[in-house]
Structure 1
Amino acid sequence: MQANKIIVQTEDFDVAAEYAAIANDNSDGAVVTFVGKVRDFNDGAEVTDLTLEHYPGMTENVLQQIAVEARERWPLNCVTIIHRVGTMHLGEQIVFIGVTSAHRKAAFAACEFLIDFLKTKAPFWKLEASPDGRHWVDARDSDEQAAKAWNNGDK
């Protein structure tokens, strides 16, 4: 089993390079990745850019805890979480999650679990900009419900 790769950074990441880094073990039959991007709307309102702030040190520790919990639930080989902070513009990448496992069901479930818990547990603060100004975004109830479903055994 490899160590978890957890990075919080301002610069963009290379999806192909991150995929190549985790897809090199022939015992893994499944590689699942997720990339989140800045979109041009949120809750029906226009978005022009997004600024993410975080609590350095604590953020990485929480992401590491989430990765450890995923490993406790599924037989995973590689777990990579890269999350950007700072100001990002429309279409820019925000987050990369990559997991590998011998089988696809474990890899898909773990990837979904990681993003669900990252969105609800990691200490990131989101400031959206629109033509009407800037405002802080609260956690979405749908994200909380998705995380709760994992704890209730509904997923």
Structure 2
Amino acid sequence: MSQSKIAVQTQPFDQNEIYHWLSESNSVGSTVIFVGKVRDLNLDESVSSLFLEHYPAMTEKALAEIVAEAQKRWQIQRVAVIHRIGLLQAGDEIVLVGVSSAHRKDAYHANEFIMDFLKSKAPFWKKETTTKGNRWIEQHDSDKIALEKWA
């Protein structure tokens, strides 16, 4: 089974450090990293910040289950899932999903699968601060549709 590094944290992550951990084996032929950032625009409103909350035991279990499912579906060597919580400003990095494998298709598919499931199944609660006030973000229909391709 592949190795995994899963973290929920307030501090920024180091993309280079994670890349080197993912790809340090000579058997790695592909490393795919996705980094999501806090957008400064949502629903035509300017966003200044995003506050993320979570319930640690529930969140860590859900992330581990998502990673385990990806490990069953694809031949991957290492997986990193780093998700930030707390107060983040527009432009801040919020999530990193990295996957390494011998072949690019396994890394691409596993990375996309993990990110799609993170968006829909990981228990994070997000509140935006916009020019019109604060609001909790609900799941988008496009996130639900993205899950259907993995059924």
**TM-score normalised by L of structure 1:** 0.95
Q: Which runs of 5+ in 1 are unaligned?
A: none
AA paired with 2:86?
G
d(CA) in 1 for partners of 2:2, 2:32? 16
**Deviation at residue 43 of structure 1 after TM alignment:** 2.3
**Whole-angstrom CA distance in 2 between matches of 1:112 and 1:2:** 17
Question: 2:112: which partner in 1?
Answer: 112
- In the alignment, the residues of structure 2 paired with residue 75 and residue 115 of structure 1 have an alpha-carbon distance, to the nearest angstrom, of 17
CA distance in 2, matches of 1:111, 1:45: 30
How far the C-alpha of 1:3 sits from its partner, in A, is 2.5
Q: Which residue of 1 aligns with 2:128?
A: 128
Q: CA RMSD in A?
A: 0.9
The aligned counterpart of 2:8 is 8
Contact 2:45 2:132 in 1 (8 A): no
Q: What's the CA shift for 1:15?
A: 0.6
Report matched runs for 1:1-155 at 5 Å.
1-151=1-151
1:82-111, CA deviations, whole angstroms, 9 ceiling, x for partnerless residues? 000001001100001110111001100110
Deviation at 1:28, TM superposition (A): 1.1
Q: TM-score if structure 2 supplies the norm length? A: 0.97
Q: Tell me, in whole angstroms, the C-alpha distance in 2 between the residues paired with 1:97 and 1:17.
A: 13
Structure 2 regions of 5+ residues with no counterpart? Answer: none
State the aligned residue count: 151
Q: For the Cα contact (< 8 Å) 2:82–2:95, is it kept in 1?
A: yes
Runs ≥4 in structure 1, deviation > 3 angstroms? none
Determine what percentage of the aligned residue pairs are the same residue.
49
